[in-house]
Structure 1
């Protein structure tokens, strides 16, 4: 399992996709937070707050995470390496977890540069340091749980197709639907029913209050898609 984790990390840093994803994340955030005149621009907000960064990042990751996961298993299928992995003394679940943990580590690496934004907002505060620390920490936890859930969805999409493009499109669609579309669709059916989609739980944790129900929700979705991915590989193995 750990060899698969190291392989994911090694591929990320030795292939163009790794630096491309990190570059896109930094550039897009930088442009919207400090250059473009938009609702996300921190300089135009009138107060020091990291909320625009977390809201913007959640949408960026809807597409960046599928781009990161699309090759994880699809490429192994196409190259024949997956069949070789099945001959090793490692279980199907360990293969899936090795891939998944590798992706989570890479997502942490992608998030690291955002610490610079926290410093900038800290300095821009009046007085300096006038930043909601609890809300910022809660938002980081919420964002990581969200992208970890996106990663589980993307890994499953990669497991059911040997075509990376199909895996990306399917994962991006599902991430978008569960993040934004699910609650919107359910609201049309029943106004008093909400909380099914990712965004509701993400927003709840972002307020700085870590409710175990929201954490359990994300962990349950992650476990469900990890299970589906394992089933897909077992079916392929047969």
Structure 2
């Protein structure tokens, strides 16, 4: 499994698409946080990164599908998946290796954004006038959100043979689980349906963790979300192998 993880991670790190995607992500967050007047931190006047943590999930909807779209789609197109299938590895081990490789690249994309935290920390009046606990909780939320979107991207890549189709499918599902369930909850007047849809919404649990309080219910939700989509991917691969 480690060999597949290393191979996949090195493949991603050697991909021009990965660097372009991460570069666009960092450029977009930098411009929106420091230059655009509607979301600029200096114009806002408060030492906090709320605008950043509200913005990143929407960028993730495009960033993560772009990273994960080649996980299985490329293998199927080039016919190299059979080389993996004949190794002494289970489908679950192959899926986890690709999942962890894509998630590692998401972490690499997030690491440079810590500069924003240290910048606001120093610019605060007095210096350090920022709620670090909320920032830490929000970063945990971003990692959990990223892991959920990666599991969706892995599934989409296993369903499609074309990378573009895998990207579009993953982006659509990510948008649906992040924003679609919230929008659907507002349509229904029955409180139990609204509560059910909100409980299934990724955004609801992400916002909960972003307040700086890590609730076990949110952790269980994201764990279950990942297990569901990775198990679905395993089912797809086993069906195709059969």
Q: Same fold (TM over 0.5)?
A: yes
The CA deviation string for residues 137-166 of structure 1, in whole angstroms up to 9 with x for no partner, is 000000110010000001000001111111
1:205 aligns with 2:209: yes
Relative distance call for 1:191 and 1:116 in structure 2 (3 A) is: farther
| Structure 1 residue aligned with 2:172 | 173
SS of aligned partner of 2:53: helix
1:120 and 2:124 are equivalent in the alignment: no
CA distance in 1, matches of 2:7, 2:43: 43
Please tell me whether residue 216 in structure 1 is matched to residue 201 in structure 2: no
State the distance in 2 between where 1:4 and 1:67 align: 20
In structure 1, what is the Cα distance between the partners aligned to 2:11 and 2:137?
31
Where does structure 1 lack aligned partners over 5 or more consecutive residues?
none
Give me the whole-angstrom Cα distance separating, in 2, the residues matched to 1:22 and 1:171.
17
Task: Tell me the alpha carbon deviations over residues 104-161 of structure 1, each in whole angstroms, 9 at most, x when there is no partner.
Answer: 1111111110110011110111100011011000000001100100000010000011
Residue 191 of structure 1 and its aligned partner are, at CA, apart by: 5.6
Structure 2 regions of 5+ residues with no counterpart? none
CA RMSD between the two structures: 1.0
Structure 1: distance between partners of 2:92 and 2:225: 16
Match status 1:30 vs 2:34: no
TM-score (norm 1): 0.97
Higher alpha-carbon deviation: 167-176 or 191-200:
191-200
CA deviation after TM superposition for structure 1 residue 77, in Å: 0.7
* Residues 4 and 102, structure 1, Cα contact 8 Å, conserved in 2: no
Q: Using the alignment, how far apart are the partners of 1:95 and 1:59 within structure 2?
A: 28
Match of residue 82 from structure 1: 81
1:4 to 1:190, Cα distance in 2 relative to 1, 3 A? farther
